[in-house]
A and B are shown apart, each in its own frame.
Chain A
Amino acid sequence: MSGALFLGWRYLAHHRFKSGILIASIALMLFLPAATRLLVEDSATALTARASQTPLVLGARGSELELVLNTLYFHVESPAEIENRAFTEVQATGFAEFIPIHSRFRAQGVPIVGTSPDYFGFRGLTIASGRQIGLLGECVIGAKAAARLGLGPGDSIISSPETVFDIAGVYPLKMTIAGVLDVTGTADDNAIFVDIRTSWIIQGLGHGHTDLAAPEAGAAVLSRRNGVVTANASLAQYAEVTRDNIGDFHFHGSTDSFPLTSVIVVPPDQKNAALLRGRYQDNDLLQLVVPERVLDDLLQTVFAVQNYVVLGLAILGFATTAVITLVFLLSQQLRKGEFHTLLRIGASRGYVSLLIASEIGFVLLLSVLLASGLTLVTRIYAMQILQTFLTL
């Protein structure tokens, strides 16, 4: 029997190319459905992990999915905004920890997320190089965004205007990168974080300019009357916050009316969570959502699609099996002479059958091993694969 196994193995080894194609085809047939399931499950896990780490999100009433996606993944363009007042009022209740989020602007395609220092502790973000945000106008950048843009501590990045002809207020702000964050494998790797007030400066709600009370203001002053100085349109505003001009930066109006895109709410217990949810149940302007539930609905759809994909792969698998069988049978036909030689030398028909079976066995074994290996590698690197292509 070992002779038949030996001959079977040598045949496959000699016809490496043909054997390789067979093994690869079968392995792929086995691997693809497994990998599909694995990646879908892992992406679902990653999605739900980030969602389950975010107990509640407060935002403008409307699409729950958009609210959650923008808060968790900074994905949505032109997100609905709420007033900062909503944040300060709910913060005063003391029912939970509240973290403001303003995610509307981008710099070289990377979302700029205005928030408070609490966000970093909440998400477990640590500094890989450089330091945390110090002054307004500084930012920290996620690891992947930094690598992609070739930026590091000390470099600058300019926020992008929302539209080319946006003269009204959203103007480019040059931000100094204070630090680069450690890799987290989440959407935070592809974001730029600023103090919430810096985000408001980008939006034009705060700015810096020459002190109008000073004589140097000169031509920028339209009038000085009754202790009120009125500036004209020639007043140049600083496009960058520096140590020299930071004292000149200020906000107009009350910050209560300034915008946020959402507030992350972290209640200490279910009781406080319930109190908060009751508070916004009938609110016309605001909604408090549970990200995990919102994404669960989305994932049901994803799983349904996955099933169709796997079904398609299974059908493809049957077709592939049929083709492989045909190829195999043709191959046996071509080897009739070889089998005849073996019979003539003294091999039994059973020996020849064993020889063929051993070849099939080896191919299947190697295919299963290859498929298992690929599945294992996919298992190990699933998150990195997903992060490369999906940005979770």
Chain B
Amino acid sequence: MINISELAFSYQGRDAELASSFGMRVRSLTVPVGATTALVGPSGSGKTTLLGLIAGTLRAASGSIIVNDEAITEFSDKDLGQYRLRSVGQVFQSFELLDYLTVIENVMLPWYISGDGMQEDIRERAAELLRNVDLTTKQTAMPGELSQGEQQRVAVCRAMLNNPPVLLADEPTGNLDQENKQNVVDLLVEQAQQNDSTLLMVTHDESLLSKFDAVLDMRGVAQPLKAPSQE
């Protein structure tokens, strides 16, 4: 379960104007365990920011975020890194595969970072994930040799390597054609359901909303936050 309470966030920076241009407050948000939730809203409504706060790549100014009983707002940077490796799987709009690693190595990337577990076991896990998405024959291919749909499927496998309890996807279908959009979303939902992971996916595509358990409109979740100088 993801539980957010009295969360305040603003972009810090040298540029005071920029800092004052975006900040948001989330009074209360709860996402049940295992739920698949689509996050919608206009641009600038804080969808990506919310995912960043839940992933721990952004720090809240105040408030709390509790993910499966872990108060991540209390974590140090190091702890947050560990948390992401262990508990969060992320899928990005532009896939973000490393072009110098093979497909299976990209899937194993979290292991290359954490070093936790035996390499053979992790490789087997990665191979299994690729099997599930019909990419067994492309294990040793380089990302540049894959189609966009295939690349995103690899990214999904990477996100699922450690069976994360939380799966965050920020517009994963933004660069895909219609058929692949459907396939990728189906894959994400399927993986989440299989692993009992909580899925939060940002999307602008209304045709995909029906695949989710819930749809969260950011306009109802977050309110703009004035900069400290403005308050």
Contact of A345 among B77, B78, B90 (CB under 8 A): B90
Q: A2 at interface (Cβ–Cβ under 8 A)?
A: yes
Decide if A346 touches B110 in the complex (CB within 8 Å): yes
Contact-residue size bin, chain B (C-beta under 8 Å from the other chain): 20 to 34
Contact of B84 among A1, A10, A338, A346 (CB under 8 A): A346
Decide if A6 touches B112 in the complex (CB within 8 Å): yes
Stretch of B14-22, B29-37, B92-100, B210-218 lying at the A interface:
B92-100
Q: Nearest Cβ distance between residue A357 and chain B, in whole angstroms?
A: 16
Decide if B113 touches A346 in the complex (CB within 8 Å): yes
Cα-based distance from A188 to B158 in the complex (angstroms): 71
Give the chain A neighbours of B92 by CB distance below 8 A.
Answer: 341, 344
Give the chain A neighbours of B156 by CB distance below 8 A.
Answer: none
Per-residue 0/1 for B71-93: is the Cβ within 8 Å of any A Cβ (1 yes, 0 no)?
A: 00000011001111110101010
Decide if B105 touches A347 in the complex (CB within 8 Å): no
Within 8 A of B (CB), among A1-19: 1-4, 6-7, 10-11, 13-15
Decide if B90 touches A344 in the complex (CB within 8 Å): yes
Decide if A344 touches B57 in the complex (CB within 8 Å): yes
Which of B100, B112, B158 has most chain A Cβ within 10 Å? B112
Contact of B109 among A337, A345, A349 (CB under 8 A): A345
Give the chain A neighbours of B109 by CB distance below 8 A.
Answer: 342, 345
Q: B101 at interface (Cβ–Cβ under 8 A)?
A: yes
- Which residue on A lies nearest to B158, using beta carbons? A345
Give the chain B neighbours of A10 by CB distance below 8 A.
Answer: 100-101, 105
Cα-based distance from A349 to B158 in the complex (angstroms): 21
Interface secondary structure of B, over-half rule: helix
Q: B9 at interface (Cβ–Cβ under 8 A)?
A: no
Decide if A3 touches B84 in the complex (CB within 8 Å): no
Q: A351 at interface (Cβ–Cβ under 8 A)?
A: yes
Decide if A346 touches B81 in the complex (CB within 8 Å): yes
Decide if B114 touches A341 in the complex (CB within 8 Å): no
Decide if B100 touches A11 in the complex (CB within 8 Å): yes
Which of A3, A6, A338 has most chain B Cβ within 10 Å? A3
Give the chain A neighbours of B101 by CB distance below 8 A.
Answer: 7, 10
Q: A348 at interface (Cβ–Cβ under 8 A)?
A: yes
Q: Nearest Cβ distance between residue A198 and chain B, in whole angstroms?
A: 71
Decide if A3 touches B115 in the complex (CB within 8 Å): yes
Contact of A341 among B82, B98, B115 (CB under 8 A): B98
Give the chain B neighbours of A341 by CB distance below 8 A.
Answer: 92, 96, 98
Q: Nearest Cβ distance between residue A348 and chain B, in whole angstroms?
A: 5
Q: A343 at interface (Cβ–Cβ under 8 A)?
A: yes
Decide if A338 touches B98 in the complex (CB within 8 Å): yes
Give the chain A neighbours of B55 by CB distance below 8 A.
Answer: 344
Decide if B100 touches A346 in the complex (CB within 8 Å): no
With A10-B100, A343-B57 in contact, is A348–B115 under 8 Å at CB? no
Contact of B112 among A3, A15, A343, A344 (CB under 8 A): A3
Decide if B112 touches A346 in the complex (CB within 8 Å): no
Give the chain A neighbours of B88 by CB distance below 8 A.
Answer: 346
Give the chain A neighbours of B90 by CB distance below 8 A.
Answer: 344-345
Decide if B110 touches A345 in the complex (CB within 8 Å): yes
Per-residue 0/1 for A331-345: is the Cβ within 8 Å of any B Cβ (1 yes, 0 no)?
A: 000000110011111
Decide if A342 touches B84 in the complex (CB within 8 Å): no
Within 8 A of B (CB), among A336-368: 337-338, 341-349, 351
Cα-based distance from A342 to B98 in the complex (angstroms): 9
Q: Nearest Cβ distance between residue B98 and chain A, in whole angstroms?
A: 6
Decide if B84 touches A14 in the complex (CB within 8 Å): no
Cα-based distance from A263 to B51 in the complex (angstroms): 95
Contact of A346 among B96, B99, B114 (CB under 8 A): B114
- Which residue on B lies nearest to A13, using beta carbons? B100
Give the chain A neighbours of B113 by CB distance below 8 A.
Answer: 3, 342, 345-347, 351
- Which residue on B lies nearest to A344, using beta carbons? B57
Give the chain B neighbours of A11 by CB distance below 8 A.
Answer: 100
Give the chain B neighbours of A14 by CB distance below 8 A.
Answer: 99-100, 142
Cα-based distance from A6 to B83 in the complex (angstroms): 23
Decide if B96 touches A337 in the complex (CB within 8 Å): yes
- Which residue on A lies nearest to B159, using beta carbons? A345
Within 8 A of B (CB), among A33-49: none
Give the chain B neighbours of A351 by CB distance below 8 A.
Answer: 113
Q: Nearest Cβ distance between residue B106 and chain A, in whole angstroms?
A: 10
- Which residue on A lies nearest to B57, using beta carbons? A344
Per-residue 0/1 for A242-268: is the Cβ within 8 Å of any B Cβ (1 yes, 0 no)?
A: 000000000000000000000000000
Cα-based distance from A11 to B109 in the complex (angstroms): 13
Cα-based distance from A346 to B158 in the complex (angstroms): 12
Cα-based distance from A14 to B102 in the complex (angstroms): 10
Q: List 22 A-B contacts (CB under 8 A).
A: A1-B115, A6-B112, A7-B101, A7-B112, A10-B101, A14-B100, A341-B98, A342-B113, A343-B57, A344-B55, A344-B90, A344-B92, A344-B96, A345-B90, A345-B109, A345-B158, A346-B81, A346-B82, A346-B83, A346-B84, A346-B86, A346-B114
List 11 extra interface pairs beyond A4-B112, A345-B84, CB under 8 A: A3-B113, A3-B114, A10-B100, A10-B101, A14-B99, A14-B142, A338-B98, A342-B113, A344-B92, A346-B114, A347-B113
The 5 closest A-B pairs by CB, nearest first: A14-B100, A346-B85, A3-B112, A346-B84, A341-B96
